[in-house]
Amino acid sequence: MLQGLRSQIYQVADLEAAKAWYTSLLGMPPYFDEPFYVGFSVGGYELGLQPGGDPDAGQAREAVTYWGVPDAEAAHAHLLALGATDYQPVQDVGGGIKLGAVRDPQGNILGVIENPHFSAKEQTPPPSVQEAFPMSLVERYRESYEHEKDCNQKMLAMIESVPQPGRSDAWFQQAVSLAGHLAACRENWLGRMDGTDREGFRQAAWFDEACDLATLGPRFAALQTRWTDYLARLEDGQLAQDFEFTEKGQHFQLPTEVQIVQLFGHASYHRGQVALLVDQLGGETADTDYADWWWANRDGKR
């Protein structure tokens, strides 16, 4: 029945003076301004002013908190049926605004208000991240991998940008070998995770100190196709499942999600090293921040 806290209404003897005072206090004019009622929208709630009460006559004024309802008369009647006592019969104060109040069995004042001018949407809290971007965990990992693929392309372009004189420097080979290490990690771990090479018979060298830059473009293209296909088949329920593999004759188990997260962090770390080496060798570095990538590719993400 109750739709949420809606209004705090004060009875005032001088409506114009009260309106001026609250306008100054809040720094904004009322959204609803009539001789019978003045309403301010404050942070998704309503502060209302209603003519009534005379302090000179000794009449006490009680501020009443009102809960929004779709039908004030029905809500008021329902509260009375539940054992509440009438405090303020429902009245139409004008403009379709209806309000009333009861005392609950403990004597507390409970107000209800039907106000067509104050949208319930104004009280709706902002959506959570999950509501704004409704994605499952696997979908988030798929998106993160799309970002990684973009980063890989930029990483290879950074290495290619190193001027010819710098390519004879040992740091250049270090940058190439780091990129090759990233490729090997993705290749080797996928073989373990999808079951195509749990025993490690077809694994690439984890760190090839003589890695050839010319081989990396086709290599990344091939492994990225395989990883994209793997993530497309993966379901949320499989993330917590262990996969098994053998390393130097020893048997191991790891949760699938643990290794997925590890690979993302591992790649980011080594790409940073590559960028630093490229910069020191006089090459051109590129921005690989996730937020910038998301913004550039935001269509369809909202």
Is 207 found in the same domain as 141? Answer: yes
Is 31 found in the same domain as 57? Answer: yes
Between CA 256 and CA 262 the distance in angstroms is: 10
Q: Which residues partner with 114 through β-bridges?
A: 98
Q: Is 136 among the domain residues?
A: yes
Is 166 found in the same domain as 42? Answer: no
pLDDT above 90 covers what percent of the chain?
Answer: 58
Is 166 found in the same domain as 269? Answer: yes
pLDDT digits (tens, 9 = 90+) for 129-169: 556 667 889 999 999 999 999 999 999 999 999 999 999 99
pLDDT computed for residue 60 by the predictor: 40
Is 152 found in the same domain as 105? Answer: no
pLDDT digits (tens, 9 = 90+) for 244-292: 999 888 999 999 999 999 999 999 999 999 999 999 999 999 999 999 9
Residue 208: pLDDT band (50, 70, 90) is very high
Q: What is the mean pLDDT of the chain?
A: 87
Q: In this structure, which long-range contacts are made by residues 282-291, counting pairs with CB atoms below 8 Å and at least 24 apart in sequence?
A: 282/162, 282/163, 282/166, 283/158, 283/159, 283/161, 283/162, 283/163, 283/166, 284/158, 284/161, 285/158, 286/154, 286/155, 286/157, 286/158, 287/154, 288/150, 288/151, 288/154, 288/155, 290/144, 290/147
Q: Is 301 among the domain residues?
A: no
Q: What is the CATH number of the domain that holds 64?
A: 3.10.180.10
Q: Which of 123, 150, 179 finishes a domain?
A: 123
Is 218 found in the same domain as 115? Answer: no
Q: Which of 84, 101, 123 finishes a domain?
A: 123
Residue 206: pLDDT band (50, 70, 90) is very high
Quote the tokens at residue 183.
Answer: 């490729």
Cβ of 79: how many Cβ atoms within 10 Å?
A: 22
Residue numbers of the domain that contains 223: 129-296
Closest to 217 in 3D by CA, of 256, 183, 244, 194: 183
Strands of the chain (E only): list them: 5-12, 32-34, 37-42, 45-51, 64-68, 85-94, 97-103, 109-114, 242-247, 250-255
Domain count, the chain: 2
Is 283 found in the same domain as 158? Answer: yes
Is 258 found in the same domain as 228? Answer: yes
Q: What is the CATH number of the domain that holds 248?
A: 1.20.120.450
pLDDT computed for residue 59 by the predictor: 46
**How many angstroms separate the Cα of 263 from the Cα of each of 100, 204, 227, 232, 292?**
61, 16, 12, 17, 21
Is 190 found in the same domain as 160? Answer: yes
Is 159 found in the same domain as 64? Answer: no
**How many angstroms separate the Cα of 50 from the Cα of each of 124, 226, 235?**
25, 68, 58
Stretch among 12-26, 179-193, 209-223 having the lowest mean pLDDT: 12-26
Q: Is 110 among the domain residues?
A: yes
**How many angstroms separate the Cα of 58 from the Cα of each of 51, 61, 76, 148?**
16, 9, 28, 73
Is 209 found in the same domain as 113? Answer: no
The 3-state DSSP class for residue 39 equals strand
Strands of 256-300 (E only): list them: none
pLDDT computed for residue 96 by the predictor: 86
Q: Is 284 among the domain residues?
A: yes
Is 289 found in the same domain as 164? Answer: yes
pLDDT computed for residue 123 by the predictor: 47
Q: Which residues partner with 102 through β-bridges?
A: 86, 110
Between CA 291 and CA 141 the distance in angstroms is: 15
pLDDT digits (tens, 9 = 90+) for 87-135: 999 999 888 889 999 887 767 687 888 988 876 554 455 566 556 667 8
Can you tell me which residue has the tokens 């997260």? 261
Q: Which of 96, 123, 150 finishes a domain?
A: 123
